[in-house]
Structure 1
């Protein structure tokens, strides 16, 4: 049982740093696709992140034990969690989906995961979890409003929703791995298998050099790889070790309001009063549901990587 007490046991500095790192991904992602095409950005992000994760694992002498079956499952889950989930979200960014709304979609993911686990795996789910998800969705609808143009249009919103669904399915897939391989080596494998499809998609659909601002593109890729992929992964692993995956997931509801501030300052995103009310409603719903979710501490190859 993950409760408010569980969440309060999380170390304050790593928890606060994780929320900031996670939220920053929704700022650096749109900034990156403004400087280069989305698939190419992600492909090079995963290349750099794979090299860094493998280098860190070697430097720390982490065990490499993974049999062929576990390796295959880690790789497949990595494709879902990285290539599919991020691929769709970055396309949505490219179509105009806002940073705050994207963060809100992904904040709903832990609650959606619990609901999918109940439907697909027969796990127990509380009425408060279902109610929290419903309230969260109502908040999202308030943020969206009647006109989807400000959110990039119905296609961008639909792709953002699919990214949320893929994140939840990938989180469930972590349990399917059925072992507990080293976190850094697992991340290195998952980044490595996700890079080629993104680079191939980028080359075939975006061109050989789809960059409009080289300096900004390089800075964004390095920030995404170092801060969001590696530092975020390390912070999340510390929180999981200290409080469990459920307690760490209880922090995700903080991401949308934290994202909204730099989105306004950096990306010039503004929210109306009605949208701010919707954001507050969604955060309350997700916060209530994630702080009471029952989650079996199943082994996982790696936690969901920050955006």
Structure 2
């Protein structure tokens, strides 16, 4: 799949992607309020895998992957989907707020650049380092001195580890080497993530860990159709039109959009000091991601799906 290295993005798909991505931080907490996190994710990925395969077949996308590439795609999928989302949904279950979760993941593209510098010897700019530091400072302002409103220390710690696994998974995409078809790659990654999550859910959460069947069903459908599939299609379009660097730069818009959605849907509110922290974090992440060099764009999958 050819990729451009420009920075211009079509307005409507870009706005739709930010809204879809941000909505995942609303549907996630809503899902774990209605059912246990591992079971929710397991069924989400089952449905997303079926939809991705159906769409790939309908569009006649090339499905050929050699055995080595298939294994690498599957391994990265377990990290990007099973581990990263599993941790974040556990954090939701502990009480981590939607806005904070969005802030953690918004920092991930910058953390990925820093990890690439430390582990792979890639160059990193001073602005990226400063942007990450400013972003972390903003997150700390949002957290404040009392972590109780954020779900407690465990929720915050698990959310941070989820951010780390997202960055490591992003680096893992480079290990794949080849660039298989986006839809088939996503279908494989969804499919390999579902069984371990369902088994983990069955053994730790019970056979039917549902407290609100209707809400759980709506949340799983929304997560699979909108966040997994529609988000993937929009992201692919944006990368094709503007390059992966430009697409990744949109992630700094997610926290403020998530904060508004969380206020409207989940009744989450931020104090004046937390609002200041949100602005500081967004400025830091925005500065760091917008200065990333487009000379070596990442594969589409590196940006991730919500």
Q: Aligned equivalents of 2:81 and 2:126: distance in 1?
A: 31
Q: Aligned equivalents of 1:176 and 1:238: distance in 2?
A: 23
Gaps of 5+ in 1: none
Partner of 1:227: 226
Q: Deviations over 1:270-293 (max 9, x none)?
A: 100000000000000000000001
Q: Aligned equivalents of 2:295 and 2:84: distance in 1?
A: 23
Q: CA RMSD in A?
A: 1.2
TM-score under structure 1 length normalisation = 0.96
Partner of 2:247: 248
Mean alpha-carbon deviation: is it higher for 21-30 or for 260-269? Answer: 260-269
Q: Aligned equivalents of 1:219 and 1:120: distance in 2?
A: 41
Partner of 1:116: 115
Q: Deviations over 1:209-255 (max 9, x none)?
A: 00000011000000000000000001001111111111100000000
Q: Deviations over 1:138-160 (max 9, x none)?
A: 00000000000000000000000
Q: Aligned equivalents of 2:203 and 2:42: distance in 1?
A: 13
- Residue aligned with 1:97, SS: coil
- Residue aligned with 1:269, SS: coil
- Residue aligned with 2:178, SS: coil
Distance change >3 Å, CA 230–CA 152, structure 1 → 2: same
Per the TM alignment, residue 6 of structure 1 is displaced from its structure 2 partner at its CA by: 4.3
Partner of 1:16: 15
How many residues were matched structurally?
Answer: 302
Partner of 1:211: 210
1:62 aligns with 2:61: yes
Partner of 1:183: 182
Q: Does the aligned pair in 2 maintain the 1:179–1:301 contact within 8 Å? A: no
TM-score under structure 2 length normalisation = 0.97
Partner of 1:129: 128
Distance change >3 Å, CA 280–CA 119, structure 1 → 2: same
Partner of 2:257: 258
Q: Does the aligned pair in 1 maintain the 2:142–2:275 contact within 8 Å? A: yes
Partner of 1:237: 236
- Residue aligned with 1:250, SS: helix
Q: Deviations over 1:29-70 (max 9, x none)?
A: 000000000000000000000000000000111101100000
